[in-house]
Chain A
Amino acid sequence: MIGGWIWILFAAIGVFGAASVALSKNVVRCGFGLLAALISIAAMYAFLGADFLVATQVIVYVGGILVLILFGVMMTHRITPISLRDDMIQPMAAGLAALLIFGLSMLMIITTDFGPMADPGPMLPTTHDIGRAFLTSWLFPFEFASVLLLVAMIGAAMLTREPRPDDMPDGMPNDAPNDKPYDVPNDKKVEG
């Protein structure tokens, strides 16, 4: 069956991407490895018949979070180059912990009897049912998640804001010398 081989191809892409996140010394290469892993997860959702989740995964993760992360990488790289020479501090201990967790997970997966498998049934569009569930039985978590997103957005804006000199409390030395860090110098400004 050809579907199994396509599944294995996407799984291999995802594992390769995740491995390059874990092992690569180059931050940009880590970012593109994460891109491969997230696209592989989106393909897994497609194999599982979750069409709404495929769209959500691609829009939110591949389009949003990954661009945010690459933006963070570029922003922090632009000012000073970061030495990645001794980035792997404790690879042995970390590898041991990861192998232990992987081994225990596999032991659980192999030995557990998951009971009778539900009939997966035909793959139907899920968007309509998901919207109905959000506005009926899952209404409270849905509203709570929207409040959480609002709080996170305000918090992120608050944290990244440039500190103004008048909101420093007394006794706190304001040694951020850049009162206008992104202003163009006067001799570089274009007249008119």
Chain B
Amino acid sequence: MEIGLIHYLTLSAIFLALGIFTVLSRRHVIVMLMGTELILNAAALNFVAFGRYVTGGLNGQLMTIFIIVIAAAEAAVALAIVIAMFRNFNTVRVDEVDRLRQ
């Protein structure tokens, strides 16, 4: 069978739906972070697939590199916030973090 654009878009939609389900249903902050990584990867896969099959050229791949950069920055800051949150509240569940100060 021949793999085309539709297959990549379908796989990306599955990743997007599972990522959104993870972010909405979980309360563990690190698992929610993993869900955002899934969503970002779904978008990046779409960029590369459209770049190969529709527009041609390298612009889709270049956009994906910027998505990876932004995801790296996001993961670094988010994990720093998680560590600060764990230090102050001694929990990683987002529904137990309900104060702005000590």
Contact = CB atoms under 8 A, between A and B. Distances in A.
Overall SS of chain B's interface: helix
Interface string B54-71: 111010011011101111
A183 B15 CA distance: 44
Interface of A (DSSP majority class):
helix
Interface string A165-179: 000000011011000
Contact of B30 (A48, A49, A73): A73
A39 to B, nearest CB: 11
Contact of B76 (A82, A101, A152, A176): A152
B63 to A, nearest CB: 9
Interface centre among B35, B53, B75, B86 (most CB of A within 10 A): B75
Contacts of B44: 41
Interface residues of B, number: 74
Interface of A: 1, 3-5, 7, 11, 14-15, 18-19, 21-22, 27, 30-31, 34, 37-38, 41, 44-45, 47-50, 52-53, 56-57, 60-61, 64-65, 68-69, 71-73, 75-76, 79-80, 82, 84, 87-91, 93-95, 97-99, 101-102, 105-106, 109-110, 114-115, 117-121, 126, 129-130, 133-134, 138, 141, 145, 148-149, 151-153, 155-160, 172-173, 175-176
